[in-house]
Amino acid sequence: MTDRQPPLAGFRHHHSDDELRAYRRLTAEQKLAWLEDAWRLTVDFLPKHRLATYQRFRRAES
């Protein structure tokens, strides 16, 4: 008998080769715009206390 823990459940996502090729064709500006849009969407759904914590980290506060 071993003390091994079962694998943790989590999120996995796979991108096809075509999706990766399409991403490579984006300009740096397009990639940054996508990243900013993703961050804004995330912020919309973050609990207020978590957002405040992230903002403190970004300002290098403890």
Residue 37, classified by CB atoms within 10 Å of its CB into exposed (0-12), middle (13-18) or buried (19+), is exposed
pLDDT tens figures, 38-55: 989 988 888 988 888 888
- Dihedral of alpha carbons 43, 44, 45, 49, sign: positive
pLDDT score, position 1: 52
Distance CA 15, CA 21 (A): 10
pLDDT score, position 2: 57
Q: In residues, how long is the chain?
A: 62
pLDDT score, position 43: 85
pLDDT tens figures, 15-38: 999 999 999 999 999 999 999 999
